[in-house]
């Protein structure tokens, strides 16, 4: 197996073979060939520690949380709340009370849009979103704008893939109430300078909402340092289970927000004609939560917190840089956003070949990539393409797998005649 020393940027080598051994699925074959999994931006694979934690919960500790007086319920509650504390430490929040469990990034963004946006926006207010946003950080703002009379305005991106900060600064005004941006693009991997964006937005009194789905698994996030007001991420991209995510909100903002959903667990007192509500974060966690998924997320966070993150970030960035160099030598390949600093996500097109066709041929070789618009249709239009092939890398990917992808694209050209 080719190692990091073949790329050679980080001082501390990343032991990718050791990491791969923790992920059972990586030993399987697809269509009789070793699995080459290059779709971690869609969902990451799960280490044995996460799989075992979920199984152990169901086998030995299954119970509903909160208000239970029996031992199993109290154990489940303690475990559930311990993950909140752990998540707060992992993201650098000021307090565990600033962490809300959601079903994922999409739910977190909808919660902020409907609760914070729905209660504060007025006709004539403006919401700024970038052209590179996932639909999850665009459609919720469109919906709340229709309800409140606010307007959604785009922050342009440059051909290089980076956010146009000069244009962003010109868009900011006394009408700007919310700036919603991704920390790292799920299509081109471009990393946005949230510190600078937050500072500029705060100068005009706007709050900053960050989609961290792609940054949390690939960058060492420190929420107090970047000073955003809200931040969302998903467990399943962070090597944890599906159906669970995290929403961070500054507590002073969460306190002001009305409930998003009503039901058990989020109330203080209920009468027939009115109710009062629990403080955050309970106010935003109505009903029985995804307890096993929270347990699995806790195991995932514990697992990744053992890593040398400097080594991981360096390894992944070197890996994606090497992938870009090798892909650029494939005839007919065009990489989108080639000039941006990026996390380990690459999107490209092949002249004369539809991404879906390329992805189908690659699948026959055991290579899993994503083909489509990646829930980013405005970004596709910005680059003048209907869809792309996306290769996204995780902590377990190798240079050998990059080479398998490059070789596979040669097969794509032969099969499809381009």
Residue 271 has pLDDT above 60, yes or no: yes
Query: Which pair of structure tokens corresponds to residue 391?
Result: 């290769």
pLDDT (0 to 100) of residue 418: 63
Task: List the catalytic residue out of 228, 233, 375, 376.
Answer: 375
Q: Which of 349-353, 404-408, 414-418 has the lowest mean pLDDT?
A: 414-418
Mean of pLDDT values over 337-359: 94
Phi, psi of 69 (to 5 degrees): -95, -10
Q: What is the pLDDT of residues 311-330, one digit of tens each?
A: 999 999 999 999 999 999 99
Strand-pair partners of 207: 178
Between CA 142 and CA 122 the distance in angstroms is 14
Residue 357 has pLDDT above 80, yes or no: yes
**Mean pLDDT value across the chain:** 95
Query: Which pair of structure tokens corresponds to residue 38?
Result: 């290059």
Mean of pLDDT values over 147-171: 97
DSSP H or E run through 302? helix 291-305
Confidence of residue 11 (pLDDT cuts 50, 70, 90): low
pLDDT (0 to 100) of residue 340: 76
Mean of pLDDT values over 395-400: 98
Residue 1 has pLDDT above 50, yes or no: no
- Helix 291-305 to helix 48-56 angle, to the nearest 10 degrees? 150
Residue 146 CB contacts under 8 Å (≥ 6 apart), including other chains: none
Q: Which domains, and CATH codes, for the chain? A: 4-30+308-415 (3.90.1150.10), 51-305 (3.40.640.10)
Query: Which pair of structure tokens corresponds to residue 18?
Result: 């050791």
Mean of pLDDT values over 389-415: 97
Place of tokens 């398998």: 404
Query: Which pair of structure tokens corresponds to residue 366?
Result: 């055991």
DSSP H or E run through 17? helix 16-20
Place of tokens 């006709």: 123
Mean of pLDDT values over 386-414: 97
Angle at 393 between CA 28 and CA 45, to 5 degrees: 45
Confidence of residue 9 (pLDDT cuts 50, 70, 90): very low
Percent of the chain residues topping a pLDDT of 90: 95
Confidence of residue 339 (pLDDT cuts 50, 70, 90): confident
Query: Which pair of structure tokens corresponds to residue 2?
Result: 């080719």
Cis omega before residue 281 (within 30°)?
A: yes
Mean of pLDDT values over 241-267: 97
Task: Please say whether the beta carbons of 98 and 88 come within 8 A.
Answer: yes
Q: Is 403 exposed, middle or buried (0-12, 13-18, 19+ CB in 10 A)?
A: middle
CA distances in angstroms from 285 to 265, 290, 302, listed in the order given? 7, 10, 23
pLDDT (0 to 100) of residue 417: 77
Between CA 57 and CA 292 the distance in angstroms is 7
Q: Output DSSP code: residue 215.
A: T
Between CA 70 and CA 286 the distance in angstroms is 22
Of 63, 78, 133, 86, nearest to 105 (Cα)?
133
pLDDT (0 to 100) of residue 7: 43
Between CA 130 and CA 340 the distance in angstroms is 15
Query: What is the rounded radius of gyration, in angstroms, for the C-alpha atoms of the chain?
Result: 22
In a 3-state reduction of DSSP, which class is residue 345? strand
Mean of pLDDT values over 63-72: 94
Between CA 133 and CA 185 the distance in angstroms is 7
Q: What is the pLDDT of residues 72-119, one digit of tens each?
A: 999 999 999 999 999 999 999 999 999 999 999 999 999 999 999 999
Of 76, 115, 118, 98, nearest to 282 (Cα)?
98
375 annotated active-site? yes
DSSP H or E run through 312? helix 309-328
Residue 16 has pLDDT above 60, yes or no: yes
Mean of pLDDT values over 49-54: 98
Place of tokens 């109505």: 286
Q: Which of 133-137, 406-410, 414-418 has the lowest mean pLDDT?
A: 414-418
DSSP H or E run through 100? strand 99-102
Residue 6 has pLDDT above 90, yes or no: no
Of 94, 93, 99, 117, nearest to 256 (Cα)?
117
Between CA 142 and CA 172 the distance in angstroms is 18
Phi, psi of 370 (to 5 degrees): -110, 135
Query: Which pair of structure tokens corresponds to residue 238?
Result: 């962070």
């Amino acid at each position: 197996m080719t190692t990091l020393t073949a790329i050679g940027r980080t001082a501390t080598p990343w032991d990718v073979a050791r990491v791969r051994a923790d992920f059972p699925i990586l030993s399987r074959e697809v269509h009789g060939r070793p699995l080459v999994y290059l779709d971690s931006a869609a969902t990451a694979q799960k280490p044995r520690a996460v799989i075992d934690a979920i199984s152990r919960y169901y086998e030995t500790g299954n119970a509903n949380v909160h208000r239970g007086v029996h031992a199993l319920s109290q154990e489940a509650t303690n475990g559930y709340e311990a993950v909140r504390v752990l998540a707060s430490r992992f993201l650098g929040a000021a307090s565990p009370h600033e962490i809300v469990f959601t079903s994922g990034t999409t739910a977190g963004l909808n919660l902020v849009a409907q609760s914070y946006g729905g209660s504060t926006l007025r006709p004539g207010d403006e919401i700024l979103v970038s052209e590179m946003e996932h639909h999850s950080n665009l459609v919720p703002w469109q919906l709340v704008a229709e309800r409140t009379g606010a307007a959604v305005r785009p922050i342009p991106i440059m051909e290089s893939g980076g956010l146009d900060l000069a244009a962003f600064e010109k868009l900011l005004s006394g009408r700007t109430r919310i700036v919603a941006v991704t920390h790292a693009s799920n299509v081109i991997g471009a990393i946005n300078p949230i510190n600078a964006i937050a500072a500029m937005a705060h100068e005009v009194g706007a709050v900053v909402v960050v989609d961290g789905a792609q940054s949390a698994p690939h960058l060492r996030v420190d929420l107090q340092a970047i000073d955003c007001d809200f931040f969302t991420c998903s467990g399943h991209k962070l090597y944890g289970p599906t159906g669970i995510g995290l929403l961070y909100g500054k507590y002073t903002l969460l306190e002001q927000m009305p409930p998003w959903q009503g039901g058990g667990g989020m109330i203080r007192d209920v009468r027939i004609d009115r109710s009062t509500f629990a403080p955050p974060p309970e106010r935003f966690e109505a009903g029985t939560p995804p307890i096993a998924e929270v347990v699995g997320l806790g195991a995932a966070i514990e697992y990744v917190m053992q890593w040398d993150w400097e080594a991981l970030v360096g390894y992944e960035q070197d890996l994606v840089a090497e992938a870009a160099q090798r892909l650029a030598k494939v005839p007919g390949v065009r990489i989108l956003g080639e000039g941006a600093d990026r996390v380990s996500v690459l999107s490209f097109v092949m002249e004369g070949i539809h991404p879906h066709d390329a992805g189908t041929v690659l699948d026959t070789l055991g290579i899993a990539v994503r083909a489509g618009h990646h829930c980013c249709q405005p970004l596709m239009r910005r680059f003048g393409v209907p869809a792309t092939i996306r290769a996204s890398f995780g902590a377990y990917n190798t240079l050998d797998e990059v080479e398998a992808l490059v070789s596979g694209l040669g097969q794509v050209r032969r099969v499809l005649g381009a």
